[in-house]
Structure formats: C-alpha cells, structure tokens
Amino acid sequence: MARPAPKSRRDRVATEDTSIMVVMKAQLVRPPRETVMTQQSIPATSGIDHIGLTVRNLESTSRFFCECLGWRVVGERPEYPAIFVSDDRIVVTLWQVESPERAIAFDRRANVGLHHLALAVAGRPGLDALYRRVSQWPGVDTEFAPQVSGNGPKIHFVVREPSGVRIEFAYDPRLEEVRARR
C-alpha cells in the first residue's frame, strides 16, 4: 500500500526525515559482515598485560605491594617515577602523581576510571590471614572485613591501600579448581 503524497513541504520533509531515520537505524543495527563476531571467533585480546595505577606515595604503595602482599619489583622508571610490581601472574605499574598535595582522591560514585583492583586469594584461610595482615598495615583504610559477596559463595574484603586506591581481595571456591590447574 503506497503512502499518500505529503500535502505540504513540512509534511514532505518530515516524511523524508522519517525514511532517513529508518535507513539509519537499519544500518546501525546491522554492522558490516566482517565486524560481526561469532561464537567461534577468537578474542582479539589475550588477557591483561598490566594495570597502571597513579598513586600519591610511590614508596609506601610499593612497600604495601611488596612487603605486605609479597609481590616483587620487576622494573622501575625513576625519571617518571614509576615502579612495576608483580605477583608472577599480573603486573601492576605504580605511577607517582606529580603533585601529591594537590591530588584529588578518586570517588567511585562520581568519577570515571578504575573503580577498584580485585585480586584473587587462594583459600578461605588465606583470605582471613591476608585480611589480618593488610588491615594492620600502616596507612591502610579498611572499607569492610571479609563477607559474602552478593549471594555467595565468594567471600571478599575491600581496603584502600596507603595511597587511597581501592583493592578488593576475594576468595571464590567455584574458581579454586581452575586456579589449581594454572
């Protein structure tokens, strides 16, 4: 059934605009065939290379990662300044903020950016022991003690390390078998 001819220029423009919008919507819904990922597609990425965190106090934060968490320094850029730390699974780059006294703390409810860094811990006893050590570390602010995450069975706790970066430590029994195979 054909549309009736528009009566006025305004009606004609509205009809043309509507037709254009329909064409534009159709193009937005259907991306070019070569960009459509299928279930058999291989992801374009292969995990995390590193995570970069800007910190107020490079020395206290690197001590927290290395002395409290047992990580090790795997690189440095004194001129930046930056220290690269690792737990042998991931690398975290710690970048010293230029003016610590003028730095603005991250507000997870108001700023775009990294909400928190979540680190896995093997076993509930390991999580509890780590909580006791981390919560007593100088400059650490505990947001909450170990508790069930959502409906469980994951257990987690969150702190702000000495420079204020939120870090979640989590034990998830559903993932223990997967981690044991690594």
Tell me whether residue 156 is in a domain.
yes
pLDDT higher than 80, residue 13? no
Strand partners, 55: 96
DSSP single-letter state for residue 69: T
Q: What is the pLDDT of residues 139-152, one digit of tens each?
A: 999 999 999 999 99
Q: What pLDDT, on a 0 to 100 scale, did the predictor assign at position 169?
A: 98
Q: Quick one: pLDDT at residue 2? A: 55
The residue among 128, 134, 166 whose CA lies nearest residue 146 is 128
* Any domain includes 44: no
What stretches of the chain show up as alpha helix (H) in DSSP? 9-29, 58-63, 124-135, 176-180
Q: Are 81 and 96 in contact (CB under 8 A)?
A: yes
What is the domain extent for residue 92?
Answer: 51-98+114-180
Q: How many CB atoms lie within 10 A of CB 120?
A: 18
pTM of this structure: 0.74
- The vertex-50 CA angle with 67 and 171, nearest 5°, equals 60
Residue of 149, 145, 165, 148 whose CA lies nearest to 157: 145
CATH number at residue 160: 3.10.180.10
In a domain, 30, yes or no: no
Assigned domain for 14 exists = no
